[in-house]
Amino acid sequence: MVIGIFRTNICTHQDKSFVITALLSHFNIISCTIDTEDCDKVMRVVNGTVAVAEHEIMLFIRHLGFQCDKLD
């Protein structure tokens, strides 16, 4: 199991639901959370049995129209 932590610009509940639904349907992930109250709008993605590269998730989120960068 791998946990990816990202900085985003996802601010609204509607955008949060949209992104989480899209991620769950596109990738083999166990869970995804987005903290819209945090200044970095932190998104945590827990990968399932097949590892998903962090850059794939970042590209996917950017394709959806949001900013997404790895949070160190």
Q: What is the CATH number of the domain that holds 35?
A: 3.30.70.100
Q: For residue 32, what are the domain limits?
A: 3-70
8 A C-beta contact, residue 43 and residue 54: no
Which residues does residue 70 pair with via DSSP β-bridges, in sequence order?
6
- Kindly indicate the confidence band of residue 17, based on its pLDDT and cuts at 50, 70 and 90: very high
Q: What is the pLDDT of residues 40-66, one digit of tens each?
A: 999 999 987 666 789 999 999 999 999
How many domains does the structure of the chain reveal? 1
Q: CA–CA distance from 62 to each of 24, 26, 45 (Å)?
A: 16, 14, 15
